[in-house]
Amino acid sequence: MARAHRVALLGTVVVISYVLTFFKILSVPLLDAKVADQIIPVLPWWLLVSFGSYCLWSIGMGLLTLRECPEAYNELLGEITEAKNDLRMKGVTVD
């Protein structure tokens, strides 16, 4: 079973239970009926907004924490020069 199948299976179960709850075929345990009536219709939108925020936060944090490494660049330039000089001395063609 590929990951897509597992996700689809889980998604189907969640959607079916949501629809059944929405049409009051299933009841919400441990929650006042009045409160449940108010929460159930907006739940998908809440999930959507939460997921969107999570995406933005993840990518934003990723961008912020992606480090610049100028020291690696400078070190590399030095090593390239050293390598070229050494190789030239040893008879390898270096441009």
Partner 1 sequence: MQGSFNSPDTHKYSVILPTYNERKNLPVIVWLLAKTFTENQLAWEIIVVDDNSPDGTQEIAKQLAKLYGEDKIVLKPRAGKLGLGTAYIHGLNFVTGDFVIIMDADFSHHPKFIPQFIRLQKAHNLDIVTGTRYRATSKPSSPDAQPGGVHGWDFTRKLVSRGANFLADTVLNPGVSDLTGSFRLYRLPVLRHIITETVSKGYVFQMEMMVRARALGYTVGEVPITFVDRIYGDSKLGSNEIVSYAKGIWVLFTTV
Which residues sit at the interface with partner 1, rule CB under 8 A? Answer: 2-4, 7, 55, 58-59, 62-63, 65-70, 72-73, 76-77, 79-80, 83-84, 86-87, 90-95
- State in angstroms the smallest separation of the CB of 29 from partner 1: 30
- State in angstroms the smallest separation of the CB of 93 from partner 1: 6
Q: How far apart are CA 95 and CA 92, in angstroms?
A: 10
Q: How far apart are CA 27 and CA 23, in angstroms?
A: 9
Complex with partner 1: residue 26 or 94, whichever CB lies closer: 94
- State in angstroms the smallest separation of the CB of 71 from partner 1: 8
Complex with partner 1: residue 22 or 51, whichever CB lies closer: 51
Complex with partner 1: residue 7 or 13, whichever CB lies closer: 7
Residue found under tokens 């709850």: 21
Q: How far apart are CA 31 and CA 29, in angstroms?
A: 6
Chain-centre distance of CA 40, in angstroms? 26
